[in-house]
Amino acid sequence: MSLLPVAFEDRMKLTLGNEWNAFTQALQTTAPTSIRINPFKNHVAAGEQVPWSTFGVYLSERPKFTLDPVFHAGAYYVQEASSMFLEQAFRQATDLTKKLRVLDVSAAPGGKSTHILSLLNNESLLVANEVIRSRATILAENIQKWGCSNAIVTNNDPEDFTRLGGFFDVVVVDAPCSGEGLFRKDPEAMKEWSPENVDLCGKRQRRILADVWPALKQDGILIYSTCTYNRFENEETLQWLREQQDAESIELKTETGWGIDHVVENGIHGYHFYPHKVKGEGFFLSVIRKKDEAQEPNLKARKGLNTPSKKIEEELKTWTTLNDPKFFTWNETAFAISGSIYKETAFLLDHLKFVQAGTALATIKHDKLIPEHAAALAIHLNRDNFQQLEVPEDDALKYLRKEAMLAQADKKGYTLITNRGIPLGWVNALDSRMNNLYPKEWRIRMAG
Ligand code: SAM
């Protein structure tokens, strides 16, 4: 590892005192590899469990994830372990049995969002937002792979949420930050670090919090996190918020063996993760409850969602196992969402820039349905409705590279390709060959 920036080193020595040497030694070691299992996709992985997450597993070595077919099917998400502490904020500060409306305002590439979807019940709604368009596309891809239909992906600036006054029960701000906690894993983060950048990030974080705060209900929960250590971007940002707003910091229970530093400063409970004390990267998280009054918006949408014809709707119903499914069309694509979030979806469509909403099931062409890739990945796809072809790993990789496969389906028609029982995507089986419908832009390019 290259030399640490001097100003960073000076500050961290003061913060860590006699732990400084242990901290720098930890930075010389290889970052642990961890994944978070998708609880809806029937995948198992052997390894030590991440103590603060039901779904987190440490792997003893880092495999070539690209060459594991089920990785592309959303069977798990590769995520460093400290950030999985978000789960404790949800479990301890919210009621997961209730219908919750959650906003993840800076969500790309989707680590926190896919984790939140694993925790929410079917009635709940996640709005996963990302301001940078290209990153919003990656976010949408990862949400599709996770397979839940109760997520909406948007591409808005945080200030666009201000006008949704009192809509959300939970707002997650996993803020863009100076990335001090990533120096071991990502040396680029160190090159970009400077005291000026810390200052810039802190100001941006304050702006984001001020923008999204009005969108939170009274008694709603704000979960704030960064992957940086300095107080200006962490405790001081939240103190700044508390000076402007009526807000209360929430304490989370942690176990001593977890190695997390719980710091209480001016009434703010902050949870700090350092690589010499936890098996993970640098991270900070804090939970705030809104005490200010906030009026819930009237959910009346100006225009409703476009709906498909009755005939198409009847056919779409056979494609999904969703409880109370509702369908809407957008251009030529038919989407499925659960009836429990239909009103919210129509309301949000009026106010936000959508990238995707629910699950894209099919394109409607001349009254025929052509399956969308997202449908193959959806956990509520009615698989009994389609021919399925289980293929071994070699053929699965051929499929994911969009090469000709060895396997051939028995019957003609749209066929679900599976590996280890997990759907990877569609082919259209013809007489003696199969048209590979895997999205071109997602295809594996890695040799091996
Ligand atoms: N939550 C993500 C996850 O778990 O995968 C990681 C989010 S990353 C720490 C911060 C995100 O904030 C980035 O995707 C970045 O594009 C976005 N961002 C950058 N500037 C922003 C701004 N001014 N307002 C909101 N988000 C911003």
Domains contained in the chain, CATH given: 6-12+83-290 (3.40.50.150), 299-385 (3.10.450.720), 386-448 (3.10.450.720)
Taking the CA of residue 132 as reference, the ligand 1 atom at the shortest distance is 16
**pLDDT at 261 (0 to 100):** 97
Q: Which residues does the chain have with pLDDT short of 50? A: none
Distance 130 CA to ligand 1 centre (A): 7
CA geometry: angle 172, 174, 177, nearest 5 deg: 155
The two structure tokens encoding residue 231: 């107080």
User: What CA dihedral angle connects 337, 373, 66 and 52, to 10 degrees?
Assistant: 10
**pLDDT at 1 (0 to 100):** 60
**pLDDT at 301 (0 to 100):** 73
The two structure tokens encoding residue 159: 């200030």
d(CA 123, CA 150): 8
Distance 188 CA to ligand 1 centre (A): 17
Ligand 1, atom 9, lies closest to the CA of 176
CA geometry: angle 260, 76, 392, nearest 5 deg: 150
d(CA 224, CA 238): 8
Q: Tokens 């996709």 map to which residue?
A: 41
Distances (CA, A) of 397 to 16, 58, 254: 47, 25, 42
Distance 194 CA to ligand 1 centre (A): 19
**pLDDT at 432 (0 to 100):** 87
The two structure tokens encoding residue 175: 């803020």
Which of 86, 104, 106, 212 is the best mutation target for the ligand 1 pocket, counting ligand atoms within 8 Å of the beta carbon and taking the most?
Answer: 106
**How many Cα atoms within 13 Å fall on the side-chain side of residue 312?**
24
Ligand 1 pocket (Cβ < 6 Å) reads 106-112, 130-132, 135, 158, 174, 176, 204, 208
**pLDDT at 304 (0 to 100):** 80
Distance 358 CA to ligand 1 centre (A): 22
**pLDDT at 2 (0 to 100):** 67
Q: Of these residues, 148, 177, 201, 227, which one is catalytic?
A: 227
**pLDDT at 436 (0 to 100):** 97
ω into 109 cis (within 30 of 0): yes
3-state helix, strand, coil in the chain (%, to 5): 35, 25, 40
- In the sheet that holds 76-78, the strands lie side by side as 48-49, 56-59, 33-37, 76-78
The two structure tokens encoding residue 113: 């969002």
How big is the chain, counted in residues? 448
The two structure tokens encoding residue 416: 């679900």
pTM: 0.98
Taking the CA of residue 115 as reference, the ligand 1 atom at the shortest distance is 4
Distances (CA, A) of 199 to 140, 161, 211, 248: 31, 24, 19, 25
Ligand 1, atom 14, lies closest to the CA of 108
Which of 131, 172, 208 is the best mutation target for the ligand 1 pocket, counting ligand atoms within 8 Å of the beta carbon and taking the most?
Answer: 131
Distance 448 CA to ligand 1 centre (A): 33
Distance 324 CA to ligand 1 centre (A): 34
Ligand 1, atom 16, lies closest to the CA of 132
Q: Tokens 């103590």 map to which residue?
A: 51
227 is catalytic: yes
Cβ-in-10-Å burial (0-12, 13-18, 19+) of 182 comes to buried
DSSP 277: T
**pLDDT at 367 (0 to 100):** 86
Question: How do beta strands 101-104 and 125-129 pair?
Answer: parallel
